[in-house]
Structure 1
């Protein structure tokens, strides 16, 4: 007989992601006993439920302890488990930095994307949903700022297509927006410090909404940050059957 934990896990394996407002997802996030049952079933397969309060979706990923046995090959760790070339990984990190970091800033200050000013009572409100705070970036601006460093238009278009298919981004006309996995599978706690205080420190001294247009002088640093973060971007991997 099917039960709710079995159905939730089967749906996540089938659809890769589910929204946080889904009935069974909400139950898993609020019902401790139900969450324990779900976690136990997933643990038996080396998986865990992955969510964060800043994302509108949840997904599944491997437990850290099982990753080397899955992704290690001949004692050599795969450079990434999505089949992305180096320029694809660099593009992923750049998109994460341009879309997710400003969104997190707005969520933490309880601002919506269309707010003109801070609400003095904003801290009493729940964290805004990603869809209410996430702002896309123009494709033409991305190509102008990063095309030369990330393989020019042909390679960038190819990698954007791969990232869209994987669920990291969505394309809405000329605008690139956050996909369901962009804020789930990137290790924000690790990458934020490395990028904001490291290679892209000069960029992120500006307010978040002004980050879209990045000077060419820091493009090499962006690539360096992407290479450094490559392993982190690949460690948590949803089922893609």
Structure 2
């Protein structure tokens, strides 16, 4: 077991994220002792495993207790992966347009291509991941709707989107933005969803002619996490 843990820890640190379909990651999700050993090793160096059942990947991040020790006294961008305020605002907009509809599909056990019909046994299905439930955002539409507010179209197209892609938040393909490995892992749905749906960004999106899905309660999210964990443990 020790060598397996060593290999997995090294891979997580080297790659920053791994897919949930990875064999060693799958073991972490179903083997409590294996997961505890991994978390103990990460905690020894101030890190934690970031695992969201709705995300397609797992990742590693700093523990709250060491954040100030790592970033304290440095400039603003040091603690935000080098992102400026405009780039963070752009990231939140993209998260809103991709992850909120995705979560609605996951909880409703629907896909992007769903015809809207109800599935009698849908709630018994495991949570889906990937592009079957995660839609894409047109770069052209994003620039047209938010370019002026977020630093200008040229800056967004030539710099900001490229930075978000390099950091693993998005993937750019043929003029469309897709969910990257970290978009649904590093940005906490429980923290952001209510603030976004009921906050100032809702007004921004409404002015741009974009509609937001209905808010999901924390209780609903917790119930789905518990259900998905049960499914994972039986696999």
Identify the TM-score tier after normalising by the shorter chain: 0.7 to 0.9
Q: Residues 51-82 of structure 1, C-alpha deviation per residue, up to 9 Å, x if partnerless?
A: 111111011001111111111116x7767431
Normalized per residue, which structure has more helix? 2
1:71–1:81 CA contact under 8 A, matched in 2: no
What is aligned with 1:52? Answer: 52
Equivalent runs, 1:156-167 vs 2, <5 Å: 156-157=156-157, 158-167=159-168
Aligned in 2, Cα 1:113/1:173: closer, same or farther, shift over 3 Å? same
Q: Which residue of 2 aligns with 1:233?
A: none
Cα-to-partner distance string for 1:79-137 (whole Å, 9 max, x where unaligned): 74311111101000000000001101100111111111232321011111133200001
Alpha-carbon contact 1:54-1:130 (below 8 Å) kept: no
Q: TM-score w.r.t. structure 1 length?
A: 0.81
Partner in structure 2 of residue 134 of structure 1: 134
Which ranges in structure 2 are unaligned for 5 or more consecutive residues? 211-235
- Aligned equivalents of 2:201 and 2:120: distance in 1? 31
CA distance in 2, matches of 1:165, 1:78: 16
Moved over 2 A (4+): 76-81, 200-203, 213-218
Give the equivalent residue in structure 1 for 2:94. 95
Determine whether 1:151 maps to 2:178: no
SS at match of 1:180: coil
The residue number in structure 2 matching 1:32 is 32
Contact 1:145–1:214, Cα closer than 8 Å, also in 2: no
Structure 1 residues 131 and 10: CA distance shift in structure 2, 3 A: same
TM-score by structure 2 length? 0.83
Aligned position for 1:61: 61
Given that 1:18 and 1:59 are in contact with CA atoms closer than 8 Å, whether structure 2 keeps it comes out as: yes
User: Which residue pairs with 2:41 in the alignment?
Assistant: 41
Counterpart mapping for 1:5-24 below 5 A: 5-24=5-24
Conserved? CA contact 2:71–2:78, under 8 Å: no
Which has the larger displacement, 65-74 or 136-145?
65-74
> Contact between 1:138 and 1:174, CA under 8 Å: does it hold in 2?
yes
- Paired positions, count: 208
* Residues 130 and 41 of structure 1: CA distance in aligned 2, closer, same or farther (over 3 Å): same
Check 1:154–1:77 CA distance in 2 against 1; reply closer, same or farther (3 A cut). Answer: closer
Task: Map residues 170-209 of structure 1 onto 2, 5 A cutoff.
Answer: 170-201=171-202
